[in-house]
Amino acid sequence: MTHLPDDALAPDLAMIERLAQGAVAALPDPWRAAALSLALRIEDFAPGEILAEMEIADPFELTGLYEGTPLTEKSVMDQPARPDTIWLFRRPILDEWLDRGNVTLTEIVTHVLVHELAHHFGWSDADIAAIDPWWE
């Protein structure tokens, strides 16, 4: 069992954001440039209105969310009201990371981010597996 120093702190919102930005930077072309156009929001938990809309009682059940119109459904005539956004929720991500115990924090953040990008891009399971081998 690994023991952490007494003064060790849980990764903060900024750390999760840095890991997510690193995952975007590591995406293959042409996905990287397109992913950079998405807004990225990192919060401890999903806002109450999102949980209510999705009928989720336990905020630990939602690690990430894509909010927007998938590229496969967009039209050049669409006028976006706000930018498409990927939300990552720190506390549920950390909870899943600790529960698994066999993946790095970078791997779990990348996994959640790629899952949300799949909603935006309309990726198939094969597309996802090519980017995130965790899906194999």
Question: What are the domain boundaries of the chain?
Answer: 13-69+83-135
The CATH number of 13-69+83-135, from 3.10.20.90, 3.30.2010.20, 3.30.70.1150, 3.30.300.30, is 3.30.2010.20
What's the pLDDT score for residue 75?
67
At 4, the pLDDT band (50, 70, 90 cuts) reads low
Q: Which residue has the higher pLDDT, 37 or 109?
A: 109
Residues with Cβ within 8 Å of residue 13, at least 6 apart in sequence: 42, 43, 44, 90
What's the pLDDT score for residue 1?
47
Q: Which two tokens stand for residue 80?
A: 């976006």
Q: What pLDDT, in 10s, does the model give residues 59-81?
A: 999 999 999 888 777 766 666 67
What's the pLDDT score for residue 90?
98
Q: End-to-end distance of the chain based on CA atoms, in angstroms?
A: 29
Q: Is the pLDDT of residue 7 over 80?
A: no
pLDDT average, residue stretch 28-33:
89
Q: Is the pLDDT of residue 111 over 70?
A: yes
Sign of CA dihedral 55, 64, 30, 37: positive
Q: Which two tokens stand for residue 119?
A: 């909603």
Q: Check if the beta carbon of residue 34 is closer than 8 Å to that of residue 82.
A: no
What's the pLDDT score for residue 135?
52
- Name which of 41-45, 58-62, 75-79, 130-134 the model is least confident about: 75-79
Q: What pLDDT, in 10s, does the model give residues 83-102?
A: 899 999 999 999 999 999 89
